[in-house]
Structure 1
C-alpha cells in the first residue's frame, strides 16, 4: 500500500499561503531554498497553468504532495481559498498522514486556536457572508484550531 501511495505523489511539498502577505518576499526565498535542494514544490505561481480550473487543480496538488507547509500570516484567514486549502490539508493529514509543517509568519498559534486579531476579524467577515452558523465557517474554524496545535516554527523578523 505504501508503494502505491508513493507512486501517486507528484510533489515533495505543497505551499499554502496568502499571496498578498508573503508572495513577493518570504515565500520567494523559501521556494528558492527548497528548489536549490532538489525539493519539487507546488506553488501556484509556478505550477498552475493558464486555463486550468483553479480549485480542483489545487486540491489535486495537495493530494499528490508528501508534505504541506502552511505559511500562516496576518491575512491568511481572510481568504476563503486559503481556508479551503487548509481544510483539505488537515483532511489529508488525518486520512493518509500527510506531513504538515506550519510556519507562523508574524502571528501566534493562539491567534488561530481562539481566533483573535486579524483571524477573528476575518472569521467575522466570513460569518457575515455565509451566515453565523454556516458549515463553511465551522469547518474553517476547526481546521485553524487543529493546525494551531501542530508543532511549527515562529517567524517574527527577518
Structure 2
C-alpha cells in the first residue's frame, strides 16, 4: 500500500504519522518532509502542527497514532533518549501488527545506521539504559521498547545518507 492509497475514507483522520525527535530534525528534514507530504494533499500528523493548546498531549498522540495508516519514524541520533518517541514507536508497532496489513511503517535512518536501531551498537542501547535509570522505568517497559526497535529495524527502511546529493 502506498501513501496515495491510504485515504481517509476508512474514518482515519490522518494518513501519515511522523515520529521524530524534535531537536534533531524538526526544523530541517522533518519540516521538509511534512510540507512535501501536505503539499501533495496527504493528511499528516506532526505534533507541533496538530496539538491544540490545553489538549492532553498523551491522549492526543495516542489517538493520532491509532487514526493513522502510515507511520514514518525518523530515527536520529537522540531518538531513543526520548521516552515519548519510544512510547510512540511501541504503539506504532502494536497498531501495525494488529492491522491485518492495513497499516505500515516506512522508517528513515537519519544520521544513524540500521544496526543502531537493531541495538547492535551502543548508540541507542546506551540512551535506553540512561532513560531506564533516570526515570526509574520498569524492565518490562524498557524491554518492550527494545523489542519495538528490533522489529522496526528488521524492516528495510530508507537511509537518508544514501540520498544526499
TM-score, scaled to structure 2? 0.87
Q: Aligned in 2, Cα 1:115/1:84: closer, same or farther, shift over 3 Å?
A: farther
Q: Does 1:78 align with 2:44?
A: no
Q: 1:1-158, aligned counterparts within 5 Å?
A: 6-96=9-99, 97=101, 98-129=103-134, 134-156=139-161, 157=164
Query: What secondary structure sits across from 1:70 in the alignment?
Result: strand
The answer for unaligned runs of 5 or more in structure 1 is: none
CA contact under 8 A between 1:11 and 1:42: conserved in structure 2? yes
Q: Quote the Cα distance in structure 2 between the aligned partners of 1:113 and 1:83.
A: 14
Q: Quote the Cα distance in structure 1 between the aligned partners of 2:51 and 2:138.
A: 33
Greater strand share, structure number = 1
Aligned length, in residue pairs: 154
Q: Quote the Cα distance in structure 2 between the aligned partners of 1:146 and 1:131.
A: 24
Q: Quote the Cα distance in structure 2 between the aligned partners of 1:131 and 1:56.
A: 22
CA contact under 8 A between 2:119 and 2:149: conserved in structure 1? no
Query: What secondary structure sits across from 1:91 in the alignment?
Result: helix
Q: Which runs of 4+ in 1 moved over 3 A?
A: 129-133
Q: Aligned in 2, Cα 1:41/1:134: closer, same or farther, shift over 3 Å?
A: same
The CA deviation string for residues 75-105 of structure 1, in whole angstroms up to 9 with x for no partner, is 0000000000000000011001321101000
The answer for unaligned runs of 5 or more in structure 2 is: 1-7
TM-score, scaled to structure 1? 0.91
